[in-house]
Amino acid sequence: MTYSYSKNAVEFIDEVEKFSNSKLNKKAELINLYESAIASEKVNDFEDLSFTAKYLRGLMRVLNEGKQMSEVGSMEKIKSDFTMNMKKATELIKNIISNSDDSVKKYFEENFLEMSQNSLVNVNELLADLEWVKMYMNKVKREDKN
């Protein structure tokens, strides 16, 4: 089943931004990712990335709460799951931008994929935005079913 997401990256991300009440941190980067996904026919990877981002954000919340609550069990399993899904998210980003021009690839590699404090902050903000993308996509899917 196809859903009624805009195939225009700017329009799509504008719709997500409106849905989030202007809470996007990395709007330009989201536009670039979605444009790359459309151009290289990797929209399914973009959707998978948004799902993974939403899951990772949930794991982050559990990890943060786990620091304060001693009852949260199996923190090692959660940390392992977080690490595995973080690797998956970075691989999906790499795959989505793999056919983009060199300047886009270099920008994402330097600002999101390097092992640095700056990249960690940027990727966390991008994941937060992708969580909004997933919530928006879920809303569209529900509306399309009605």
Domain-by-domain residue ranges, the chain? 9-140
- Under 8 Å between Cβ of 78 and 63: yes
Residue 133 has what DSSP assignment? H
Report residues of the chain scoring pLDDT below 70. Answer: 1-4, 67-73, 146
What distances in angstroms separate CA 21 from CA 8, 47, 75, 109, one per listed residue?
20, 21, 33, 29
Residue-wise pLDDT tens digits, 20-60? 999 999 999 999 999 999 999 999 999 999 999 999 999 99
For the full predicted model, state whether its pTM sits above 0.95. Answer: no
